[in-house]
Amino acid sequence: MSKRYKRTKKRKLNRRRVGLVLIIIILIIIACIYNSVKPKEQTAETIAYSGPTKINKCIVIDAGHGGEEEPGCIFGNVLEKNIDLQIAKKLQKKLSQEYTQVIMTRTEDVNVYLNERARIANRNNADIFVSIHQNALEDDTVTNGIETWYNPEKDTVSKILAENIQENVISATDAEDLGTKESTGLIVITKTEMASCLIETGFLSSTKERQKLVTDTYQDKIVEGICNGIKAYFEEIDSLENKDTSDLSSNIV
């Protein structure tokens, strides 16, 4: 092999190398441009923190009755346990968007003992407990309206919860306002160790009210009212606590 031939071969090899390096550089530039233009992928972290901040409260929703042996009141083929559960489920869905913890005492057609319902709320250190029921009167197809029960001997906050819920449900539904009522005999609002109330969202014995209670539209109004009432309750409690603190600090001064 002559020297000249060797040199030509070497030059050819060098040109190839330069070409290869150029191609690599061009590829790197293209990759850099593509990376800077394409949208950033969402990591698990950004997904976890992308939603609105929820209010740190635990709410227990109690759908009344349940199971074969505890249907509640029955009128015109409408069973109380089913209406209670339908409203409770809607309530859980709506409240879960705003609060960190929303617990149901039952999510299916099963009977849960009254003491156990209260225990569920106590075990979870719930901030509030709301029980959903329907009313009824024998031989009376006319009486209608909404009422909310609380135990006045248990604490001072249950009354505030009951009043806020009652007021807001009435303005959301335009139903007859039967007001708040006191009872020391209802297990679920007595054995629960937090603000608690039991709302009777209508009379299944009333032909007119029963027809409304089975519809999604009316149940949504009830749910909206209860949610507004819960919000108003937490706000009232917050302002009472702030007032207490400022009273204390003014005493110190």
Smallest gap, in angstroms, from Cβ of residue 240 to Zn ion?
31
- The structure tokens listed for 110 are 């099963």
Q: Which of 133, 154, 159, 210 is close enough to bind Zn ion by CB under 5 A?
A: 133
Q: How far apart are CA 202 and CA 147, in angstroms?
A: 8
Q: How far apart are CA 186 and CA 149, in angstroms?
A: 9
Phi/psi for 144 (5° steps) reads -145, 170
Smallest gap, in angstroms, from Cβ of residue 62 to Zn ion?
10
| 64 binding Zn ion? (CB under 5 A) | yes
Question: Is 225 within 8 Å of 90 (Cβ atoms)?
Answer: no
Nearer to Zn ion, 79 or 232 (CB): 79
Q: Which of residues 149-208 bind Zn ion (CB under 5 A)?
A: none
| 145 binding Zn ion? (CB under 5 A) | no
- Segment lying near Zn ion (by CB under 5 A), choices 120-128, 133-141, 142-150, 234-242: 133-141
Angle at which helix 216-252 crosses helix 80-96, to 10 degrees, equals: 50
**177-182 vs 99-104, strand pairing mode:** unpaired
Smallest gap, in angstroms, from Cβ of residue 128 to Zn ion?
19
Smallest gap, in angstroms, from Cβ of residue 143 to Zn ion?
16
Residues making contact with Zn ion (CB under 5 A): 64, 72, 133
